Amino acid sequence: MRRILAILWQLVRTLFGLGMGLYLGRVLKAASGVSWASFAGYILMSFGGILNLIVVALNRGFMPVRTEEIPEERKRFYHAMDEQTRVWFLGDWIHIGGWYFSPGDIGLYLGLIVVIGDLLIGVALNRS
Using a 10 angstrom Cβ sphere, with 0-12 exposed, 13-18 middle and 19 or more buried, the burial of residue 81 is middle
Beta strands in 1-128 (DSSP E): 63-65, 78-80, 94-96, 99-101
Q: Where are the domains of the chain?
A: 2-127
At 25 the pLDDT is 62
At 128 the pLDDT is 46
At 104 the pLDDT is 92
Work out the average pLDDT over 16-42.
Answer: 68
Single pTM value for the model = 0.73
Query: Are 6 and 77 contacting, i.e. CB atoms less than 8 angstroms apart?
Result: yes
At 106 the pLDDT is 94
* Structure confidence at residue 110 as a pLDDT band (50, 70, 90): very high
